[in-house]
A and B are shown apart, each in its own frame.
Chain A
Amino acid sequence: MKIIISNISGQPLYQQIKDQIKAAILHGELQEGELLPSIRALANDLHVSVLTTKRVYDELESEGFILTKAGKGSFVAQENLELLRESKRHMVEVKLSEAWETARSLGISKKELYSMMDLLFVEEDED
């Protein structure tokens, strides 16, 4: 799993870390049932506070991504992953419909919108 923290990003630290762990889980980079580093170990490696990593784990747990067992550590949740991927898909749909509404209010045509999307994919391929 890779976690990169940006100092220029406007996003709070815990959010950056949380999003990247979430992405690693959703992409299957972290397997179901896999043990995560302890909050202190993660904090030390990332040079952030344990309070930040604790918050990350607490939020990931309440969102159903991980499970914490007292004395054993935190694990990637076993079951709900399908459900989570589904909810992630739903988020994409919501964002797309927002983009679509903005485009419509600006008079951007369907064709133009598609070509913007194509461009994003082309850029990704180039990377």
Chain B
Amino acid sequence: MKTVLEVKGLKKDFSNFSLQDVSFSLQEGCISGFIGVNGAGKTTTIKSILGLVLKDAGSIKLFGQEIDQNERELKNHIGIVLDDGYFYENMTIKEMKNVFAPAYSNWDEAVYKSYTERFGLQVNQKISTLSRGMRMKYAIALALSHHADLLIMDEPTSGLDPLVRSELMDILLEFMQEEGKTVFFSTHITSDLDKVADVLILIDKGRIVLNQEKDTLLDTHGLIKGDKMALDDNTRKLFISLHETRYGFEGVTNQKSAVRQQMKGVLIERPTIEDIMLAYVGGDEDDL
């Protein structure tokens, strides 16, 4: 598989937060989920990729070319959906589109039209009167109407009801049916990813903590429950996070097969992405 986007050694310092040596790459044909708690660095990373935040160091390459040196040409290949929308509230849907469309050399009015019809968007409606769900659909219609190869979305699902979220996931899968498409989206609602993601990238406190195929991650990690008698100095080391109560313990391991061999009589369940995320993100106190 081809590399579409490559981020290497990305650094950005703010007074109270910094991105530290963020590196990852996106493969063609894959949906990569970018997860992490609020304030972990997801939006800063995405804004750095898009040049909306000036990076301090590092390289960001799209199709092998440095993005900030060929910005105009390369941005034609990217569709963008940002959390806030960045729309002019007082404009109508049509007016905003007329501002937006000329920025892309390969804008396709027919595609845009088919999306607005499908989503039931009224061209003369003011943006300020759109519901959150409609606003997101409008943003998607704008992002997908210039034949972008890479769709980048920042928290597209936050604040949306489950039905609209699931509709969005279906739109993503439909977009992926065409060959050569790639999606990168950030979220803290990990259940969105259960259905669609191919790769998971976990960021915490400005660092990439995990970057792996989703299915491999779910295969190698386990949610283990059992009697505290099964815990000793050796078996404790197998866990990334461990919670003990009066009745037993529950923990997440990344060495499922070792647990299976060394700990008899424990329950080994398949973790959710949320279990894994919380295990890595919450586990820091033990290391300090």
Hey, which bits of chain A sit against chain B, CB under 8 A? 7-8, 10, 12-14, 40-41, 43-44, 47-52, 54
Any A CB within 8 A of the CB of B72: no
Partner among B177, B195, B215 whose Cβ is within 8 Å of the Cβ of A14: B215
- Measured CB to CB, the nearest residue on chain A to B213 is A51
Identify 23 residue pairs between A and B in the complex whose beta-carbon atoms are under 8 Å apart, listed by A's number.
A7-B270, A8-B270, A10-B256, A12-B215, A12-B216, A12-B219, A13-B215, A13-B218, A40-B29, A40-B176, A41-B177, A43-B198, A47-B195, A49-B30, A49-B197, A49-B198, A49-B213, A49-B215, A50-B29, A50-B176, A51-B199, A51-B213, A52-B213
* Cβ contact within 8 Å between B260 and A50: no
How many inter-chain contacts with C-beta < 8 Å in the A-B complex? Answer: 43
* Cβ contact within 8 Å between A49 and B195: no
Hey, which bits of chain B sit against chain A, CB under 8 A? 1, 29-30, 173, 176-177, 194-195, 197-199, 213-216, 218-219, 256, 260, 268-270
* Cβ contact within 8 Å between A10 and B260: yes
Minimum Cβ distance to chain B for residue A103 (Å)? 25
- Measured CB to CB, the nearest residue on chain A to B219 is A12
Minimum Cβ distance to chain A for residue B33 (Å)? 10
A53 and B172 alpha carbons, distance in the complex (Å): 18
Counting from the closest, the 10 A-B pairs by CB-CB distance are A49-B198, A12-B219, A52-B215, A7-B270, A49-B215, A51-B213, A13-B215, A49-B214, A50-B198, A51-B198
List 8 extra interface pairs beyond A49-B30, A49-B197, A51-B215, CB under 8 A. Answer: A12-B215, A40-B177, A41-B177, A47-B195, A49-B213, A51-B198, A52-B213, A52-B215
A8 and B219 alpha carbons, distance in the complex (Å): 11
* Cβ contact within 8 Å between B173 and A10: no
A40 and B269 alpha carbons, distance in the complex (Å): 27
B173: chain A residues within 8 A (beta carbon): 44
Minimum Cβ distance to chain A for residue B255 (Å)? 13
